[in-house]
Amino acid sequence: MSFRVRMEETARAKGSKIVLALDFPFEKPENRESLFHRAESVLEAAHQHVCAVKINHHLVLPLGLFNGVQKLVDKAHSLGLMAIIDCKANDIGSTNQVIAEYYYAAGFDALIANPFIGWEEGIKPIFDVARRLKRGIILLAYMSHKGASEGYGQAVIDQKTGEKIPQYILFAKRALLWNADGVVVGATYPEKIREIREILGAKTPIYSPGIGAQGGEIKAALNAGARYLIVGRAIAQASNPAEAAKQIRALATV
């Protein structure tokens, strides 16, 4: 069963469109153990209200992939959640292949990659590994931060058509061509979600980060075409993560 289908089934079973991002502030290396327990407690508190967990460098760097992070992935699976690694893979093909092998070996169900690197000797090896292991690949199309337009919004020439188009439109087309399992489009830019949704249709789901701390609005993102909402600090750093997750889930299902 593909990641895309498993993600849909998990979201349906959980009754949630929320992907919990375990994003925490910097901790001194000697505080690794307390950081792990904090992440684990947030995961346990919020799991009933989310369908997946997303982990990135906030935890991989201090905890280690095959130490604390793999334990969190195992915990997520035991709670019925999918696990996504937000490594934004963006290197030459041989390096990307090794990156994918390690993250999937740690148990991650999907990996987020940057399509800037192109297909041949770039992102193709990640797709090869993912298809062999029946894991997912989610591509960046338009990020949630204020400077996103400097890269993802720049005008480029489509090499196949000679047409001048925005970079994010080209990335959306590549997501379809490469049969990606999803694309990331910031919830802070609902107009971009709408444009990309028109290209992707229902085939490729949109994952939207930036809800809460960055100013993204739940209803605007969903109405524009987002399928999943990635929520980090608004849950992970809340005084009551369970209640925060419950409230956000309710707003996303009304």
| Residue 90 burial (10 A CB sphere; 0-12, 13-18, 19+) | middle
Instruction: Let me know if 88 is a catalytic residue.
Output: yes
Query: 61 - beta bridge partners?
Result: none
CB contact set of 101 (below 8 Å; sequence gap of 6+): 129
H or E element, residue 136:
strand 136-142
**DSSP H or E stretch at residue 208:** strand 206-208
The residue annotated as part of the active site, out of 88, 146, 173, 219, is: 88
Active site residues: 88
